[in-house]
């Protein structure tokens, strides 16, 4: 298994190209199953979660063809309406194929998902949303078995909390339903709005995506489509922390300020400067880092997917920081590994108290999930001596060429192949 070797102490400087958003790409690949016409996606990041999702739609019979900067998914003929445990166990987002298969064929069988070990992560809201549109759903031997009696019917779907995935499931299913669907308490994440933009290009009629109330007019007439996905705001936030933690300056090409307000606010509160450039955002720090209190929340709040990275940053600040996780119930697996590098954290339930000013020292550490792994890399960038990050496959799920991008702006980092 590949490992990363990092020698800390280099100040990062230069430009980093931010890839397409993984969390926008995954539902869009699933959405291709809705239509009998090809969907061309032109900003897919080269990460293993995207590969995995492309394999999943290919296993369903979709034809996947690649050119230099675009991938076309043609789901004209679908051979299989069942997604096996083997294909979904590695990635929870595979549950996103359930709604498109059901909406198009009136039946689907999808294994209950696996994925990052960050809490129980049930799929009850996905199931309730489909049931509200008239689907019959059972769980049989670890499979979600869904069917409709003559198709889905538009309805009001009220989500108990604004789940990103459940909003996407409801929106996709509603495109083929008879009549109008209203999704209330919808997730407002930019990736939800980008899925709506992609579905609209495919022929769907959707209003309000990006707000709490989404309206979908059903019975879509599908058409061939092309869509360029949004840049990855979590990847951008991660490199912003890399600039801040090393006291460097990075231009994040393609990053968008409007999708990152809460992240920029947190950076500024910690003494980091952020300003827009012609190509994206510039992040720089030359003064001291200050501690700050952070609470993760659904968008537009501070993203849970940047919590671990900001913990590494807080460890290097003057003073203490309180970090509260409210989205997932157990998302602090990075804490024991960060502590191996000298990070000073006390955990109480869903709150972490990070005492700043730690002198970090390199060590062997183990990645436990995607964002946890990258927090170890960030801490390694400022740890004295050598840090080895094991179990890199977590990192490869969501960061395109992380080691190469960091090396290009001055990090002492190399990938050690098994
Ligand atoms: C998406 C992102 C993930 C991010 C998360 C929160 C993708 C592919 N992944 O995940 O990177 O961390 O949003 O921003 O886009 N929940 C239920 N029942 C459900 C669904 C969710 O209880 O049916 C709970 C989850 O356990 C969690 C919370 O709701 O506590 C939010 O989850 P959700 O917004 O659904 O996250 P995902 O769509 O899985």
Name the closest-CA residue to atom 13, ligand 1: 164
Name the closest-CA residue to atom 15, ligand 1: 23
> Which ligand 1 atom lies nearest to the CA of residue 168?
38
Gap between the Cα atoms of 289 and 246, Å rounded: 10
Q: Which two tokens stand for residue 365?
A: 């550490």
pLDDT attached to residue 114: 54
| Confidence class for position 120, pLDDT limits 50, 70, 90 | low
Please provide residue 125's backbone torsions phi and psi, each rounded to the nearest 5 degrees: -70, -35
Q: What is the pLDDT of residues 64-98, one digit of tens each?
A: 999 888 999 999 987 777 776 677 766 888 899 99
pTM (2 d.p.) = 0.96
Name the closest-CA residue to atom 17, ligand 1: 122
pLDDT attached to residue 115: 45
Q: Does the domain made of 22-228 have the CATH classification 3.40.190.10?
A: no
- Choice from 21, 165, 188, 399 to test ligand 1 binding pocket (greatest atom count within 8 A of CB): 165
CA of 165 from ligand 1 middle (Å) equals 6
The set of residues, in sequence order, having a beta carbon less than 8 Å from that of 92 and lying 6+ positions away, is: 113, 114, 115, 116, 121, 165
Q: What is the DSSP string of 247-264?
A: T-EEEEET--GGG-HHHH
Name the closest-CA residue to atom 27, ligand 1: 328
Element (DSSP H or E) covering residue 22: helix 22-31
Question: Regarding beta strands 225-227 and 39-41, do their DSSP bridges make them parallel or antiparallel, or are they unpaired?
Answer: parallel
Q: What is the pLDDT of residues 362-403, one digit of tens each?
A: 999 988 888 889 999 999 999 999 999 998 888 999 999 999
- Choice from 52, 116, 121 to test ligand 1 binding pocket (greatest atom count within 8 A of CB): 121
Using CB distances shorter than 6 Å, the residues near ligand 1 are: 23, 26, 92-93, 119, 121-126, 161, 163-166, 187, 191, 304-305, 327-328
Instruction: Identify which of 124, 14, 33 has the alpha carbon closest to the alpha carbon of residue 74.
Output: 33
- Choice from 119, 327, 373 to test ligand 1 binding pocket (greatest atom count within 8 A of CB): 327
pLDDT attached to residue 118: 43
pLDDT attached to residue 121: 62
CA of 366 from ligand 1 middle (Å) equals 24
Region(s) of the chain under CATH 3.65.10.10:
3-19+231-416, 22-228
The set of residues, in sequence order, having a beta carbon less than 8 Å from that of 39 and lying 6+ positions away, is: 28, 31, 32, 72, 73, 74, 75, 198, 202, 224, 225, 226, 227
Distances (CA, A) of 303 to 65, 215, 255, 326, 412: 33, 25, 16, 10, 28
CA of 271 from ligand 1 middle (Å) equals 31
116 is catalytic: yes
Element (DSSP H or E) covering residue 365: strand 364-366
| Confidence class for position 191, pLDDT limits 50, 70, 90 | very high
CA of 261 from ligand 1 middle (Å) equals 21
Name the closest-CA residue to atom 12, ligand 1: 305
3-class SS of residue 162: coil
CA of 386 from ligand 1 middle (Å) equals 35
Q: How many CA atoms lie within 13 A of 120 on its CB side?
A: 4
| Confidence class for position 116, pLDDT limits 50, 70, 90 | very low
Q: What is the pLDDT of residues 307-356, one digit of tens each?
A: 999 999 999 999 999 999 999 887 899 999 999 999 999 999 999 999 99
The set of residues, in sequence order, having a beta carbon less than 8 Å from that of 16 and lying 6+ positions away, is: 239, 250, 251, 252, 253, 405, 408, 409
Q: What is the DSSP letter of 342?
A: T
Q: Which two tokens stand for residue 219?
A: 């019975």
Q: Which two tokens stand for residue 51?
A: 């590969």
Gap between the Cα atoms of 362 and 381, Å rounded: 9
Percent of the chain with pLDDT over 90: 84
Minimum mean pLDDT range among 268-277, 279-288, 366-375, 397-406 = 366-375
3-class SS of residue 191: helix
Peptide bond connecting 329 to the previous residue in cis, omega within 30 degrees of 0 = no
Q: Does the domain made of 3-19+231-416 have the CATH classification 3.40.50.1110?
A: no
- pLDDT surpassing 90 at residue 244: yes
């Amino acid at each position: 298994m590949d490992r990363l070797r990092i020698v800390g102490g280099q100040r990062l400087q230069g430009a980093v190209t931010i890839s397409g958003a993984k969390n926008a790409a995954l539902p869009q690949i699933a959405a291709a199953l809705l239509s009998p016409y090809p969907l061309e996606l032109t900003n897919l990041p080269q990460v293993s979660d995207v590969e995995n999702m492309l394999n999943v739609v290919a296993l369903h019979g979709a034809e996947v063809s690649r050119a230099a900067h675009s991938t076309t998914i043609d789901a004209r003929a679908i051979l299989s309406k069942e997604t096996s445990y083997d294909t979904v166990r590695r990635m929870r987002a595979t549950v996103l194929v359930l709604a498109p298969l059901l909406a198009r064929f009136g039946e689907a069988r999808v294994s209950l998902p696996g994925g990052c070990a960050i809490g129980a992560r049930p799929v009850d809201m996905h199931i309730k949303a489909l049931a509200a549109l008239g689907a019959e759903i059972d769980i049989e031997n670890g499979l979600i078995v869904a069917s409709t009696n003559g198709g889905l019917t538009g309805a009001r779907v009220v989500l108990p909390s604004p789940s990103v995935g459940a909003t996407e499931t409801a929106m996709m299913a509603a495109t083929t339903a008879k009549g109008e669907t209203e999704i209330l308490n919808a997730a407002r994440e930019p990736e939800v709005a980008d899925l709506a933009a992609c579905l609209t290009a495919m022929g769907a009629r959707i209003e309000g995506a990006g707000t709490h109330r989404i309206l979908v007019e059903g019975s879509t007439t599908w058409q061939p489509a092309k869509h360029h996905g949004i840049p990855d705001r979590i990847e951008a936030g991660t490199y912003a922390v890399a600039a801040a933690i090393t006291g460097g300056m990075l231009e994040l090409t393609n990053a968008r300020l409007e999708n990152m307000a809460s992240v920029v606010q947190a950076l500024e509160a910690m003494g980091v400067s952020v300003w827009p450039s012609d190509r994206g955002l510039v992040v720089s720090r030359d003064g001291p880092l200050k501690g700050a209190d952070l609470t993760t929340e659904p968008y537009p709040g501070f993203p849970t997917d940047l919590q671990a990275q900001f913990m590494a940053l807080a460890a290097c600040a003057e003073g203490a920081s309180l970090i509260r996780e409210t989205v997932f119930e157990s998302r602090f697996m990075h804490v024991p590994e960060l502590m191996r590098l000298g990070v000073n954290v006390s955990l109480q339930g869903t709150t972490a108290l990070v005492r700043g000013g730690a002198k970090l020292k390199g060590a062997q550490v183990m990645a436990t999930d995607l964002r946890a792994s990258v927090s170890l890399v960030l801490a390694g960038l400022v740890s004295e001596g050598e840090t080895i990050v094991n179990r890199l496959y977590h990192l490869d799920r969501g960061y395109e060429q992380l080691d190469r991008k960091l090396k290009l702006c001055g990090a002492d980092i190399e990938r050690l192949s098994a």
